[in-house]
Structure 1
Amino acid sequence: MMPTLRTRDKLLYGPADFGGNLVGVVGNTWLLYYLVNIAGLAPLLAGLAFLAGRLFDALVDPAIGALSDRLRNRRGRLWFTRVFAVPAGALFGALWLVPFAPEGGRFVLAALGFMALSALYSLATIPYLALGPELTPDSDERTGLNAYRLAFSMLATLVGVALPPLIVLGVTGARDLAASPPAGWVVVGVLSAVAASGALLVTGFGVREPGRGGARGEEGSAPPLTLRSVRELLGTFGLGPLLGAFLLITVALMVTNSILPFFLESVLRLPGALQAPLLGGLFLVAILGFGGWNVLSGRLGKRVGLLLGLGLMIVSLLLYVYAVPRGVVSPQLIGTIVLNGLGLAAVSLFPWAMLPDVLEFDELRSGVRREGLLYALLLLGLKAAGSLGVFSNALVTSLLGYVAGQATQSPETVRGIALMMGPVAAAVYLLALVFVWRYPITRENHARAREQLAARASPAPLAPGD
């Protein structure tokens, strides 16, 4: 068995996910809100700009993953992270300048910016994620590694969701976010870009990649990208149910993340000054919950842990809509935040911890390692699913007559926002639960797969007389 990863290794692996997720969270949570309320884009056009970036992403992600597999010996996985961290951050900061462009060109600039940003962040993050399974082959240790990584990711979510309102209100002196000038939001974009690029570089230069070469790592051993290789990989034992659950969880998360500012402001009627500490508490609970879920999965397994987490998410979202009083910070709200935070930790941790275990079953069948291609295909699907969640909210707010620049909305608009935050998102989580129930990989059959790979790699014993 490979030596246990040191705590230092796990800590240095995590910051890159802080960087990548900070951009994703600030973008998915606040950019839609910003483009609608501050830049003056119609909600439908703002959603289409997001969608354009993701569709372009779909064209390049598999090629980036396959390229990472082919160059992992000569360049290493983290070479991509070191090269593209700063350009990606610079472009993200520039996206917040859209309101200063002529009104007629704002949609085009936003769409082109999202397309370029998607490609640059794919180049910086797909090879990094593909490195995770190479750091350890042990199923339980992979859960621990992902717990560290996702703690950084959740910290980015906390920062990306909770701090922007404080920064905007502090910089501009505005009372309502919906009526704030763009200068405060530009500060948010620049600070997020600097923090994201710096975090990516910490991992890019700090993590020592395992020795390359040998039977699994010879240059050129990864096959070229073809439709056949993609179909073969997608047919790997256990990947179908996991991918279905992963995509549905992402849709639900993006629905709730992108509708959250609208929900807090117009449905729960909480002022911006109260939103930040409540959101901070939510993600702090999630960060603290990773350790408990890691221990629980060692006893009950990852699948059971994910099923429990999905149940908590369903219950908490329905409580937000139907049990939490409006306009006050009530005990019901605090309790719901705790349940939501614990569920959020589980649905964030376990799919990522389960994914690397698929690789050994793919290698048993194909004879090659395809971490880069697997993570590229996954991220392609996750980005498409996330865009669907954001676009659905943009479409709903447009159809329901959301009035930009106002915290108070019509009863019909309020009901529509509440519907997306509660019953719609809960229904998506319920469907994800069905997929997780069908997930077939266990600690035992994964261990057998590793044993078969080890036996295949061992040289045959010499016959007597040879």
Structure 2
Amino acid sequence: MMPWIALSTPLAVISYFLIWYVPPFEDGKVIWYLFFYCVFQSLQTCFHVPYSALTMFISSEQKERDSATAYRMTVEVLGTVLGTAIQGQIVGMANAPCVPGPGEILADSSNSSLGLNGTNHVISLEHTRAAYMIASGVICLIYVLCAIVLFFGVREQKDSNRPKSEPLSFIQGIKLVMGHGPYAKLVMAFLFTSLAFMLLEGNFALFCSYTLGFRNDFQNILLVIMLSATLTIPFWQWFLTKFGKKTAVYVGTLSVVPFMILVVCLKSNLVVTYIVSFAAGVSVAAAFLLPWSMLPDVVDDFQVQNPDAIGHEALFYSFYVFFTKFASGVSLGISTLSLDFAGYISRGCSQPPEVDITLKVLVSAAPILLIMIGLVILYKYPIDEDRRLENRKLLQHQRDEAESESDSTELSNMI
């Protein structure tokens, strides 16, 4: 696990920095950004898969793994808050001016002739470039620091008592993992719920800027959402230990629905938007924590049903990461195509009415529909608290048997 993390970190940092660098040539800029973006995403996957799978290798106890997952997601969301604050505040101070539409140009021309707007402060493109470079440099430093802490601060647990199985090919491993019913249901359920939250998060900045009219406050609103998510992850950790993980998923995910409706139906008000954003962050915390908290239970269930199949944890986590990135790509595609059909004007000072309607659908109606589909699929998810505790006993029994066999083998060798 650790070699992949150590190898991918410096390369990921370099590729991320070059994403924000403006090359000194005009032709081929699209290829430049596409290449380094794809490289960065690939290297981030090389980091994320072993980093996530470490949960299964630092402890064999379900409670300890749940606790480790809660700590991991708290710090992960805190890092997102820090990145949002750094990127948002640094870049927000150097935002390029919006582009007026045809009607706004005529209005500005008439105002200029009357001497009404001759003192507007215009931020140069060089200032904007420098702001993005500074923000990306700071984030790269944080990336390296966190990777160093992970590399030197975490030790994998070497379980020598587990029996060794015959290695499977990659295709055989995929069939074995994806053929496990609880895993397939969990992945499909959280594919839809993740897509819902990504649609909300990906379009909320535009929704705040144009539909609500808070162009200069959207970075602070996003910061409130992520800060609320960070603060409430410990609450959801307590809730899932008290009432069970499936109940926590339903309560946590459905709690965002009223606020999705309110933010669209209520009149534009900055104070109300901040309150709704803080409340929505509570559900974002559940969306961050609960999928990763339930995945180790699926791996345990798989090991109980397939005691001879050992060492396939990374496959479970890699496909989980794949579907998370797949949801992100689908969300971006849906948002881009929908706004393009609606007539979205890039960096426009205002947008056509169709764009406002589209943004309301993308941050409210569409996510609500996707959440409902995901929860319907999750209803068939078979691992409840009773089955989870039973799996824990069976796994402990398997470990005890493996340990006794190992001791008998060592004793016979000594004799």
Give yes or no for TM over 0.5.
Answer: yes
Q: Which has the larger radius of gyration?
A: 2
Instruction: Name the residue aligned to 1:345.
Output: 285
Aligned length in residues: 378
State the SS of the aligned residue for 2:28.
helix
Please tell me whether residue 79 in structure 1 is matched to residue 3 in structure 2. Answer: yes
Q: Is the 8 A contact 1:248 1:428 kept in 2?
A: yes
Instruction: Name the residue aligned to 1:362.
Output: 302
Instruction: Name the residue aligned to 1:159.
Output: 82
What are the within-5 Å matches in structure 2 for residues 309-320 of structure 1?
A: 309-320=252-263
State the SS of the aligned residue for 2:256.
helix
Consecutive unaligned residues of structure 1, counting only runs of 5 or more, are 1-76
Post-superposition offset of 1:167: 0.3
Post-superposition offset of 1:248: 1.2
- 174-183 or 413-422: which moved more? 174-183
Instruction: Name the residue aligned to 2:388.
Output: 446
Calculate percent identity across the aligned residue pairs. 21
Q: Is the 8 A contact 2:59 2:157 kept in 1?
A: no
Consecutive unaligned residues of structure 2, counting only runs of 5 or more, are 101-122, 409-415
> Kindly tell me: are residues 263 and 137 of structure 1, through their superposed partners in 2, closer, same or farther at Cα, counting changes over 3 Å?
same
1:35-75 CA distance string (max 9 Å, x none): xxxxxxxxxxxxxxxxxxxxxxxxxxxxxxxxxxxxxxxxx
Cα distance in 2 between the residues matched to 1:298 and 1:318: 30
State the SS of the aligned residue for 1:403.
coil
Letter in 1 for 2:150: T
Please tell me whether residue 94 in structure 1 is matched to residue 18 in structure 2. Answer: yes
Please tell me whether residue 215 in structure 1 is matched to residue 162 in structure 2. Answer: yes
> Kindly tell me: are residues 165 and 360 of structure 1, through their superposed partners in 2, closer, same or farther at Cα, counting changes over 3 Å?
closer
Letter in 1 for 2:283: G
Instruction: Name the residue aligned to 1:244.
Output: 188
Post-superposition offset of 1:419: 1.3
> Kindly tell me: are residues 426 and 215 of structure 1, through their superposed partners in 2, closer, same or farther at Cα, counting changes over 3 Å?
same
Post-superposition offset of 1:315: 2.0
Q: Is the 8 A contact 2:57 2:158 kept in 1?
A: no
Letter in 1 for 2:205: P
Q: Is the 8 A contact 1:359 1:369 kept in 2?
A: no
Post-superposition offset of 1:93: 0.9
Q: Is the 8 A contact 2:195 2:328 kept in 1?
A: yes
Q: Is the 8 A contact 1:82 1:205 kept in 2?
A: no
1:437-457 CA distance string (max 9 Å, x none): 222112321222232233234
Give the RMSD, CA atoms, in angstroms: 2.5
Letter in 2 for 1:348: F
- 243-252 or 176-185: which moved more? 176-185
TM-score (structure 2 length as normaliser)? 0.84
Post-superposition offset of 1:232: 1.3
Instruction: Name the residue aligned to 2:145.
Output: 198
Cα distance in 2 between the residues matched to 1:131 and 1:342: 26
Post-superposition offset of 1:175: 5.8
Instruction: Name the residue aligned to 2:108.
Output: none
> Kindly tell me: are residues 166 and 407 of structure 1, through their superposed partners in 2, closer, same or farther at Cα, counting changes over 3 Å?
farther
What are the within-5 Å matches in structure 2 for residues 58-457 of structure 1?
A: 77-97=1-21, 99-100=22-23, 102-170=25-93, 172=94, 174=96, 181-216=128-163, 221=165, 223-272=167-216, 274-323=217-266, 325-326=267-268, 328-330=269-271, 332-366=272-306, 367=308, 368-457=310-399
Q: Is the 8 A contact 1:154 1:283 kept in 2?
A: yes
State the SS of the aligned residue for 1:406.
coil
Post-superposition offset of 1:369: 2.8
Q: Is the 8 A contact 2:15 2:37 kept in 1?
A: no
Letter in 2 for 1:209: E
